[in-house]
Amino acid sequence: MKITIIGTGYVGLVTGACLAEVGNDVFCLDVDPRKIDILNNGGMPIHEPGLQEIIARSRAAGRITFSTDVAASVAHGEVQFIAVGTPPDEDGSADLQYVLEAARNIGRTMNGFKVVVDKSTVPVGTAQRVRAVIEEELAKRGLNGSAQHGFSIVSNPEFLKEGAAVEDFMRPDRIVVGVDNDEQGDKAREKIRRLYAPFNRNHERTLYMDVRSAEFTKYAANAMLATRISFMNEMANLADTVGADIEAVRRGIGSDPRIGYHFLYAGVGYGGSCFPKDVQALIRTGAEQGHNLRILEAVEDVNHEQKEVLVRKITGSLGEDLSGRTFAVWGLSFKPNTDDMREAPSRRVIGQLLARGATVRAYDPVATTEAKRVFALDLAGLPEQQARLHFESTQDETLGGADALVIVTEWKEFKSPDFTHLKSQLKAPLIFDGRNLYEPEAMSELGIDYHSIGRPYARPAETSSDSGRA
Protein backbone atom coordinates (compact mmCIF):
# COMPACT_ATOMS: atom_id res chain seq x y z
CA MET A 1 0.00 0.00 0.00
CA LYS A 2 1.00 3.62 -0.48
CA ILE A 3 1.32 5.28 2.91
CA THR A 4 2.07 8.86 3.92
CA ILE A 5 3.49 9.69 7.34
CA ILE A 6 3.20 13.33 8.39
CA GLY A 7 5.90 14.07 10.96
CA THR A 8 9.26 12.33 11.47
CA GLY A 9 9.53 12.39 15.25
CA TYR A 10 9.61 9.24 17.41
CA VAL A 11 6.14 8.08 16.43
CA GLY A 12 6.17 9.06 12.76
CA LEU A 13 9.64 7.78 11.97
CA VAL A 14 9.13 4.44 13.72
CA THR A 15 5.69 3.99 12.11
CA GLY A 16 6.97 4.82 8.64
CA ALA A 17 10.07 2.66 8.94
CA CYS A 18 8.18 -0.39 10.25
CA LEU A 19 5.43 -0.13 7.63
CA ALA A 20 8.10 0.10 4.93
CA GLU A 21 9.90 -2.89 6.43
CA VAL A 22 6.87 -5.12 5.72
CA GLY A 23 6.64 -3.98 2.10
CA ASN A 24 4.62 -0.78 1.93
CA ASP A 25 5.60 2.24 -0.17
CA VAL A 26 6.05 4.96 2.47
CA PHE A 27 6.40 8.72 2.01
CA CYS A 28 7.62 10.52 5.17
CA LEU A 29 6.89 14.23 5.29
CA ASP A 30 8.35 16.84 7.63
CA VAL A 31 8.30 20.62 7.41
CA ASP A 32 11.74 20.78 9.07
CA PRO A 33 14.26 20.62 6.20
CA ARG A 34 17.08 19.91 8.66
CA LYS A 35 15.46 16.61 9.69
CA ILE A 36 14.83 15.62 6.09
CA ASP A 37 18.43 16.41 5.11
CA ILE A 38 19.72 14.25 7.97
CA LEU A 39 17.49 11.34 6.92
CA ASN A 40 18.30 11.65 3.23
CA ASN A 41 22.01 11.60 4.09
CA GLY A 42 21.66 8.36 6.03
CA GLY A 43 21.64 9.94 9.48
CA MET A 44 19.10 9.82 12.30
CA PRO A 45 17.49 12.80 14.06
CA ILE A 46 16.65 10.59 17.09
CA HIS A 47 18.25 7.68 18.92
CA GLU A 48 16.15 4.54 18.76
CA PRO A 49 17.77 1.07 18.71
CA GLY A 50 17.30 -0.79 15.42
CA LEU A 51 15.63 2.09 13.59
CA GLN A 52 18.54 3.16 11.41
CA GLU A 53 19.08 -0.39 10.17
CA ILE A 54 15.50 -0.95 8.99
CA ILE A 55 15.39 2.48 7.34
CA ALA A 56 18.60 1.63 5.47
CA ARG A 57 17.06 -1.62 4.21
CA SER A 58 13.88 0.09 3.04
CA ARG A 59 15.81 2.91 1.40
CA ALA A 60 17.94 0.41 -0.51
CA ALA A 61 14.75 -1.34 -1.66
CA GLY A 62 13.13 1.95 -2.68
CA ARG A 63 10.30 1.59 -0.16
CA ILE A 64 10.78 4.82 1.83
CA THR A 65 11.07 8.49 0.85
CA PHE A 66 11.78 11.58 2.96
CA SER A 67 10.60 14.97 1.75
CA THR A 68 9.27 18.42 2.66
CA ASP A 69 6.89 18.44 -0.34
CA VAL A 70 3.40 18.67 1.17
CA ALA A 71 1.46 18.32 -2.09
CA ALA A 72 3.47 15.24 -3.07
CA SER A 73 2.85 13.66 0.34
CA VAL A 74 -0.92 14.10 0.04
CA ALA A 75 -0.95 12.76 -3.50
CA HIS A 76 1.13 9.72 -2.51
CA GLY A 77 -0.73 7.98 0.28
CA GLU A 78 -4.15 6.37 0.24
CA VAL A 79 -3.65 6.28 4.01
CA GLN A 80 -2.39 9.50 5.61
CA PHE A 81 -0.95 9.13 9.11
CA ILE A 82 -0.83 12.34 11.17
CA ALA A 83 2.06 11.80 13.57
CA VAL A 84 3.05 15.34 14.54
CA GLY A 85 3.75 16.68 18.02
CA THR A 86 1.02 17.67 20.47
CA PRO A 87 3.03 19.59 23.10
CA PRO A 88 1.33 20.86 26.26
CA ASP A 89 -0.10 24.34 26.03
CA GLU A 90 0.30 26.84 28.87
CA ASP A 91 -2.84 25.50 30.57
CA GLY A 92 -1.70 21.85 30.23
CA SER A 93 -4.04 21.03 27.36
CA ALA A 94 -2.67 19.42 24.19
CA ASP A 95 -1.65 21.95 21.52
CA LEU A 96 -3.34 20.72 18.34
CA GLN A 97 -2.06 23.37 15.93
CA TYR A 98 0.24 20.93 14.11
CA VAL A 99 -2.44 18.24 13.87
CA LEU A 100 -4.97 20.67 12.43
CA GLU A 101 -2.44 22.17 10.01
CA ALA A 102 -1.67 18.66 8.72
CA ALA A 103 -5.42 18.10 8.24
CA ARG A 104 -5.72 21.45 6.48
CA ASN A 105 -2.95 20.51 4.04
CA ILE A 106 -4.71 17.23 3.25
CA GLY A 107 -7.98 19.02 2.51
CA ARG A 108 -6.27 21.61 0.33
CA THR A 109 -4.76 19.15 -2.14
CA MET A 110 -6.39 15.71 -1.78
CA ASN A 111 -7.85 13.94 -4.79
CA GLY A 112 -9.63 10.63 -4.37
CA PHE A 113 -10.63 8.79 -1.22
CA LYS A 114 -8.26 9.15 1.75
CA VAL A 115 -8.07 7.44 5.11
CA VAL A 116 -6.76 10.05 7.56
CA VAL A 117 -5.30 8.41 10.65
CA ASP A 118 -4.69 10.30 13.89
CA LYS A 119 -1.53 8.62 15.19
CA SER A 120 -0.58 11.54 17.42
CA THR A 121 -1.78 11.44 21.01
CA VAL A 122 -4.82 13.72 20.94
CA PRO A 123 -7.73 14.55 23.28
CA VAL A 124 -11.16 13.02 22.85
CA GLY A 125 -13.00 14.85 20.08
CA THR A 126 -9.92 15.66 17.96
CA ALA A 127 -11.07 13.44 15.08
CA GLN A 128 -14.20 15.56 14.83
CA ARG A 129 -12.07 18.71 14.61
CA VAL A 130 -9.83 17.11 11.98
CA ARG A 131 -12.90 16.18 9.96
CA ALA A 132 -14.25 19.75 10.17
CA VAL A 133 -10.96 21.24 8.96
CA ILE A 134 -10.75 18.90 5.96
CA GLU A 135 -14.40 19.56 5.08
CA GLU A 136 -13.76 23.29 5.31
CA GLU A 137 -10.86 23.06 2.86
CA LEU A 138 -12.82 20.86 0.48
CA ALA A 139 -15.70 23.35 0.59
CA LYS A 140 -13.30 26.13 -0.42
CA ARG A 141 -12.47 24.02 -3.47
CA GLY A 142 -16.14 23.34 -4.17
CA LEU A 143 -15.64 19.65 -3.50
CA ASN A 144 -17.38 19.13 -0.15
CA GLY A 145 -19.76 16.19 -0.37
CA SER A 146 -18.15 14.85 -3.52
CA ALA A 147 -18.00 11.06 -3.47
CA GLN A 148 -14.77 11.25 -5.45
CA HIS A 149 -13.17 13.27 -2.64
CA GLY A 150 -14.51 11.31 0.29
CA PHE A 151 -12.47 10.53 3.37
CA SER A 152 -12.68 8.79 6.72
CA ILE A 153 -11.03 9.75 10.00
CA VAL A 154 -9.49 6.91 12.01
CA SER A 155 -7.97 7.01 15.48
CA ASN A 156 -4.99 4.67 15.79
CA PRO A 157 -3.03 5.66 18.91
CA GLU A 158 0.52 4.45 19.34
CA PHE A 159 1.74 2.40 22.30
CA LEU A 160 5.50 2.60 21.72
CA LYS A 161 8.11 2.68 24.49
CA GLU A 162 11.10 4.85 23.68
CA GLY A 163 14.13 2.59 23.52
CA ALA A 164 11.99 -0.37 22.42
CA ALA A 165 9.75 1.31 19.85
CA VAL A 166 10.71 -0.83 16.85
CA GLU A 167 10.11 -4.05 18.78
CA ASP A 168 6.81 -2.69 20.10
CA PHE A 169 5.59 -1.82 16.60
CA MET A 170 6.70 -5.05 14.93
CA ARG A 171 5.33 -7.25 17.75
CA PRO A 172 2.44 -5.29 19.24
CA ASP A 173 0.41 -6.56 22.17
CA ARG A 174 -2.61 -4.67 20.76
CA ILE A 175 -3.52 -2.43 17.84
CA VAL A 176 -6.30 -0.01 18.74
CA VAL A 177 -8.38 1.30 15.83
CA GLY A 178 -11.25 3.74 16.22
CA VAL A 179 -13.42 3.96 13.11
CA ASP A 180 -16.91 5.21 12.22
CA ASN A 181 -19.74 2.78 11.49
CA ASP A 182 -20.72 4.16 8.08
CA GLU A 183 -19.90 3.50 4.44
CA GLN A 184 -16.71 5.56 4.52
CA GLY A 185 -15.72 3.96 7.81
CA ASP A 186 -16.20 0.49 6.33
CA LYS A 187 -13.80 1.38 3.51
CA ALA A 188 -11.31 2.72 6.03
CA ARG A 189 -11.61 -0.37 8.22
CA GLU A 190 -10.77 -2.62 5.27
CA LYS A 191 -7.68 -0.57 4.36
CA ILE A 192 -6.46 -0.57 7.96
CA ARG A 193 -7.13 -4.32 8.21
CA ARG A 194 -4.95 -4.93 5.13
CA LEU A 195 -2.26 -2.56 6.38
CA TYR A 196 -1.91 -4.29 9.75
CA ALA A 197 -2.38 -7.86 8.47
CA PRO A 198 1.39 -8.63 8.68
CA PHE A 199 1.29 -7.86 12.41
CA ASN A 200 -1.68 -10.15 13.06
CA ARG A 201 -0.43 -13.39 11.53
CA ASN A 202 -0.16 -15.39 14.76
CA HIS A 203 -3.36 -14.07 16.28
CA GLU A 204 -5.63 -11.08 15.88
CA ARG A 205 -4.32 -8.13 17.89
CA THR A 206 -6.55 -5.40 16.46
CA LEU A 207 -9.23 -3.97 18.73
CA TYR A 208 -11.89 -2.04 16.80
CA MET A 209 -13.98 0.54 18.61
CA ASP A 210 -15.56 3.93 18.08
CA VAL A 211 -13.24 6.88 17.43
CA ARG A 212 -13.73 8.65 20.75
CA SER A 213 -13.06 5.49 22.74
CA ALA A 214 -9.81 4.94 20.83
CA GLU A 215 -8.70 8.50 21.55
CA PHE A 216 -9.52 8.02 25.23
CA THR A 217 -7.76 4.63 25.42
CA LYS A 218 -4.33 6.17 24.78
CA TYR A 219 -4.69 8.74 27.55
CA ALA A 220 -6.15 6.22 29.98
CA ALA A 221 -3.27 3.79 29.36
CA ASN A 222 -0.56 6.38 29.98
CA ALA A 223 -2.39 7.77 33.00
CA MET A 224 -2.58 4.28 34.54
CA LEU A 225 1.16 3.65 34.00
CA ALA A 226 2.06 7.05 35.43
CA THR A 227 -0.19 6.29 38.40
CA ARG A 228 1.67 3.04 39.12
CA ILE A 229 4.99 4.89 39.07
CA SER A 230 3.83 7.67 41.40
CA PHE A 231 2.14 5.15 43.71
CA MET A 232 5.36 3.17 44.05
CA ASN A 233 7.41 6.30 44.61
CA GLU A 234 5.05 7.40 47.37
CA MET A 235 5.32 3.95 48.95
CA ALA A 236 9.13 4.18 48.67
CA ASN A 237 9.18 7.49 50.53
CA LEU A 238 7.10 5.97 53.30
CA ALA A 239 9.34 2.88 53.34
CA ASP A 240 12.30 5.20 53.96
CA THR A 241 10.53 6.51 57.05
CA VAL A 242 9.30 3.24 58.53
CA GLY A 243 12.38 1.18 57.70
CA ALA A 244 10.92 -1.13 55.07
CA ASP A 245 12.66 -2.20 51.83
CA ILE A 246 10.65 -1.12 48.80
CA GLU A 247 12.33 -3.79 46.62
CA ALA A 248 11.02 -6.53 48.89
CA VAL A 249 7.61 -4.83 48.85
CA ARG A 250 7.68 -4.65 45.04
CA ARG A 251 8.33 -8.37 44.78
CA GLY A 252 5.65 -9.07 47.34
CA ILE A 253 2.90 -7.15 45.60
CA GLY A 254 4.09 -7.81 42.04
CA SER A 255 3.73 -11.55 42.51
CA ASP A 256 -0.03 -10.97 42.68
CA PRO A 257 -1.13 -11.48 39.04
CA ARG A 258 -3.79 -8.81 39.49
CA ILE A 259 -0.96 -6.30 40.06
CA GLY A 260 2.09 -7.62 38.20
CA TYR A 261 5.62 -6.21 38.19
CA HIS A 262 5.51 -3.66 35.37
CA PHE A 263 6.06 0.01 36.24
CA LEU A 264 6.49 -0.69 39.95
CA TYR A 265 10.11 0.45 40.28
CA ALA A 266 10.78 3.27 42.72
CA GLY A 267 13.04 6.06 41.52
CA VAL A 268 13.31 9.78 40.86
CA GLY A 269 10.08 10.13 38.90
CA TYR A 270 8.94 9.75 35.33
CA GLY A 271 9.74 12.02 32.39
CA GLY A 272 9.78 11.84 28.61
CA SER A 273 7.43 12.94 25.87
CA CYS A 274 4.30 11.04 26.94
CA PHE A 275 3.47 10.60 30.61
CA PRO A 276 3.91 14.22 31.80
CA LYS A 277 1.98 15.87 28.98
CA ASP A 278 -0.69 13.15 28.71
CA VAL A 279 -1.48 13.27 32.43
CA GLN A 280 -1.70 17.06 32.21
CA ALA A 281 -3.89 16.90 29.12
CA LEU A 282 -6.28 14.39 30.70
CA ILE A 283 -6.54 16.55 33.83
CA ARG A 284 -7.35 19.51 31.59
CA THR A 285 -9.96 17.52 29.65
CA GLY A 286 -11.58 16.55 32.92
CA ALA A 287 -11.66 20.17 34.08
CA GLU A 288 -13.26 21.25 30.81
CA GLN A 289 -15.99 18.67 31.37
CA GLY A 290 -16.51 19.60 35.01
CA HIS A 291 -14.65 16.58 36.42
CA ASN A 292 -11.89 17.06 38.96
CA LEU A 293 -9.52 14.11 38.34
CA ARG A 294 -8.14 13.99 41.86
CA ILE A 295 -6.10 10.82 41.45
CA LEU A 296 -4.27 12.19 38.41
CA GLU A 297 -3.67 15.52 40.10
CA ALA A 298 -2.02 13.58 42.92
CA VAL A 299 0.00 11.52 40.41
CA GLU A 300 1.37 14.71 38.91
CA ASP A 301 2.11 16.27 42.31
CA VAL A 302 3.92 13.16 43.54
CA ASN A 303 6.02 13.01 40.39
CA HIS A 304 6.97 16.67 40.68
CA GLU A 305 8.07 16.17 44.30
CA GLN A 306 9.87 12.90 43.54
CA LYS A 307 12.39 14.69 41.35
CA GLU A 308 13.55 16.51 44.50
CA VAL A 309 14.01 13.38 46.64
CA LEU A 310 17.55 12.60 45.54
CA VAL A 311 18.68 16.18 46.13
CA ARG A 312 17.13 16.09 49.62
CA LYS A 313 19.15 12.96 50.37
CA ILE A 314 22.30 14.72 49.16
CA THR A 315 21.71 17.85 51.23
CA GLY A 316 20.70 15.74 54.22
CA SER A 317 24.12 14.14 54.09
CA LEU A 318 26.31 17.03 52.95
CA GLY A 319 24.37 20.15 53.92
CA GLU A 320 22.30 22.69 51.98
CA ASP A 321 25.32 24.71 50.85
CA LEU A 322 27.18 22.60 48.28
CA SER A 323 29.70 25.27 47.28
CA GLY A 324 33.05 23.69 46.56
CA ARG A 325 31.53 20.22 46.17
CA THR A 326 31.85 18.22 42.94
CA PHE A 327 29.36 15.56 41.90
CA ALA A 328 29.72 12.84 39.29
CA VAL A 329 26.33 12.31 37.60
CA TRP A 330 25.63 9.14 35.62
CA GLY A 331 22.64 9.29 33.31
CA LEU A 332 20.94 12.29 31.68
CA SER A 333 18.14 10.95 29.43
CA PHE A 334 14.78 10.34 31.10
CA LYS A 335 15.21 6.57 30.59
CA PRO A 336 17.77 4.19 29.05
CA ASN A 337 18.11 3.56 25.30
CA THR A 338 17.01 7.04 24.27
CA ASP A 339 18.49 10.53 24.03
CA ASP A 340 15.19 12.14 25.01
CA MET A 341 15.67 14.87 27.62
CA ARG A 342 12.06 16.02 27.83
CA GLU A 343 11.04 16.26 31.50
CA ALA A 344 14.13 14.21 32.40
CA PRO A 345 14.69 14.03 36.19
CA SER A 346 18.38 14.80 35.59
CA ARG A 347 17.42 18.34 34.65
CA ARG A 348 15.91 18.98 38.08
CA VAL A 349 18.67 17.16 39.98
CA ILE A 350 21.53 18.90 38.20
CA GLY A 351 19.76 22.24 38.31
CA GLN A 352 19.35 21.97 42.09
CA LEU A 353 22.98 20.95 42.61
CA LEU A 354 24.22 23.88 40.52
CA ALA A 355 21.88 26.30 42.31
CA ARG A 356 23.44 25.22 45.62
CA GLY A 357 26.94 26.02 44.37
CA ALA A 358 28.12 22.56 43.30
CA THR A 359 30.16 21.58 40.28
CA VAL A 360 28.72 18.75 38.18
CA ARG A 361 30.54 16.38 35.86
CA ALA A 362 27.90 14.44 33.87
CA TYR A 363 27.92 11.47 31.52
CA ASP A 364 25.32 9.70 29.40
CA PRO A 365 25.95 6.99 26.77
CA VAL A 366 23.88 8.70 24.04
CA ALA A 367 22.14 11.85 25.33
CA THR A 368 25.11 14.21 25.79
CA THR A 369 24.54 16.23 22.62
CA GLU A 370 20.86 16.73 23.38
CA ALA A 371 21.65 17.42 27.05
CA LYS A 372 24.06 20.21 26.10
CA ARG A 373 21.31 21.83 24.03
CA VAL A 374 18.69 21.46 26.78
CA PHE A 375 20.89 22.71 29.61
CA ALA A 376 21.95 25.70 27.53
CA LEU A 377 18.26 26.66 27.57
CA ASP A 378 17.65 25.67 31.20
CA LEU A 379 20.63 27.71 32.39
CA ALA A 380 20.21 30.66 30.04
CA GLY A 381 21.14 33.82 31.92
CA LEU A 382 23.08 31.83 34.54
CA PRO A 383 26.65 31.85 33.16
CA GLU A 384 28.20 31.10 36.54
CA GLN A 385 26.16 27.88 36.82
CA GLN A 386 26.85 27.00 33.18
CA ALA A 387 30.58 27.20 33.92
CA ARG A 388 30.22 24.59 36.68
CA LEU A 389 28.49 22.01 34.46
CA HIS A 390 30.81 19.73 32.50
CA PHE A 391 29.91 16.90 30.14
CA GLU A 392 32.37 14.00 30.04
CA SER A 393 32.88 11.39 27.33
CA THR A 394 33.11 8.38 29.68
CA GLN A 395 31.61 7.54 33.05
CA ASP A 396 35.08 7.13 34.52
CA GLU A 397 36.00 10.71 33.61
CA THR A 398 33.26 11.99 35.92
CA LEU A 399 34.71 10.38 39.03
CA GLY A 400 38.18 11.79 39.69
CA GLY A 401 38.10 13.77 42.93
CA ALA A 402 34.29 13.97 43.06
CA ASP A 403 32.65 14.19 46.48
CA ALA A 404 29.95 11.70 45.49
CA LEU A 405 28.45 9.72 42.62
CA VAL A 406 24.81 10.47 41.72
CA ILE A 407 22.95 7.96 39.51
CA VAL A 408 19.88 9.30 37.70
CA THR A 409 19.28 6.96 34.72
CA GLU A 410 19.50 3.15 34.86
CA TRP A 411 21.69 2.46 31.80
CA LYS A 412 22.96 -1.13 31.71
CA GLU A 413 26.61 -0.06 31.74
CA PHE A 414 26.09 1.49 35.18
CA LYS A 415 24.83 -1.71 36.77
CA SER A 416 28.11 -3.48 37.48
CA PRO A 417 31.02 -1.03 37.77
CA ASP A 418 34.40 -1.83 39.27
CA PHE A 419 33.67 -0.64 42.78
CA THR A 420 37.28 -0.86 43.94
CA HIS A 421 38.27 1.53 41.16
CA LEU A 422 35.21 3.70 41.79
CA LYS A 423 36.13 4.08 45.48
CA SER A 424 39.71 4.98 44.59
CA GLN A 425 38.52 7.80 42.32
CA LEU A 426 36.01 9.46 44.66
CA LYS A 427 37.09 11.66 47.57
CA ALA A 428 34.89 9.48 49.78
CA PRO A 429 32.99 6.26 48.94
CA LEU A 430 29.60 7.98 48.68
CA ILE A 431 26.80 7.06 46.22
CA PHE A 432 23.32 8.53 45.83
CA ASP A 433 21.40 6.10 43.66
CA GLY A 434 18.13 7.35 42.18
CA ARG A 435 17.41 4.03 40.43
CA ASN A 436 18.24 1.41 43.11
CA LEU A 437 20.82 -0.32 40.94
CA TYR A 438 22.82 -1.90 43.77
CA GLU A 439 22.12 -3.97 46.87
CA PRO A 440 22.52 -1.94 50.09
CA GLU A 441 24.02 -4.85 52.02
CA ALA A 442 26.64 -5.44 49.33
CA MET A 443 27.50 -1.73 49.30
CA SER A 444 27.96 -1.78 53.07
CA GLU A 445 30.32 -4.75 52.82
CA LEU A 446 32.34 -2.86 50.21
CA GLY A 447 32.68 0.10 52.53
CA ILE A 448 30.45 2.38 50.45
CA ASP A 449 28.14 4.97 51.98
CA TYR A 450 25.05 4.18 49.89
CA HIS A 451 21.79 6.12 49.72
CA SER A 452 18.94 4.80 47.54
CA ILE A 453 15.18 5.25 47.16
CA GLY A 454 13.01 3.44 49.71
CA ARG A 455 15.71 0.94 50.69
CA PRO A 456 17.66 0.57 53.94
CA TYR A 457 20.52 3.04 54.29
CA ALA A 458 23.83 1.22 53.79
CA ARG A 459 26.31 2.44 56.37
CA PRO A 460 29.81 1.43 55.24
CA ALA A 461 31.21 -1.48 57.21
CA GLU A 462 34.38 -0.80 59.16
CA THR A 463 36.10 -3.72 57.44
CA SER A 464 35.14 -3.87 53.79
CA SER A 465 35.65 -6.51 51.13
CA ASP A 466 37.91 -5.78 48.17
CA SER A 467 36.03 -8.09 45.85
CA GLY A 468 35.32 -5.04 43.70
CA ARG A 469 31.87 -5.91 42.35
CA ALA A 470 28.36 -6.19 43.73
Catalytic residues: 274
Residue 256 annotated as binding? no
- Listed as own residue / partner, the contacts of 133-136 with beta carbons closer than 8 Å and 24 or more positions apart are 133/100, 133/103, 133/104, 133/107, 134/103, 134/104, 134/106, 134/107, 134/110, 135/107, 136/104, 136/107
Residue 162 annotated as binding? yes
Q: Do you know the residue count of the chain?
A: 470
Residue 335 annotated as binding? yes
Are 116 and 103 in contact by the 8 Å Cβ rule? The answer is yes
Residue 218 annotated as binding? yes
Residue 30 annotated as binding? yes
Are 51 and 169 in contact by the 8 Å Cβ rule? The answer is no
Residue 342 annotated as binding? yes
Residue 296 annotated as binding? no
Residue 293 annotated as binding? no
Are 110 and 74 in contact by the 8 Å Cβ rule? The answer is yes
Alpha-carbon distance values, 254 to 56, 152, 236, 249, 258 (Å): 40, 42, 15, 8, 8
Supply the DSSP symbol for 4. E
Residue 160 annotated as binding? yes
Residue 271 annotated as binding? yes
Residue 35 annotated as binding? yes
326 bridge partner residues: 359
If phi over 0 gives left and psi between -120 and 50 gives alpha, with beta otherwise, what is residue 243?
A: left
Are 54 and 67 in contact by the 8 Å Cβ rule? The answer is no
390 bridge partner residues: 361
Residue 86 annotated as binding? yes
Are 362 and 391 in contact by the 8 Å Cβ rule? The answer is yes
Name residues whose C-beta falls within 8 Å of residue 25's C-beta, 6 or more positions apart in sequence: 1, 2, 3, 63, 76
Annotated binding site for substrate: 159-162, 218, 263-267, 271, 335
Annotated binding site for NAD(+): 30, 35, 86, 121, 162, 277, 342
Annotated binding site: 30, 35, 86, 121, 159-162, 218, 263-267, 271, 277, 335, 342
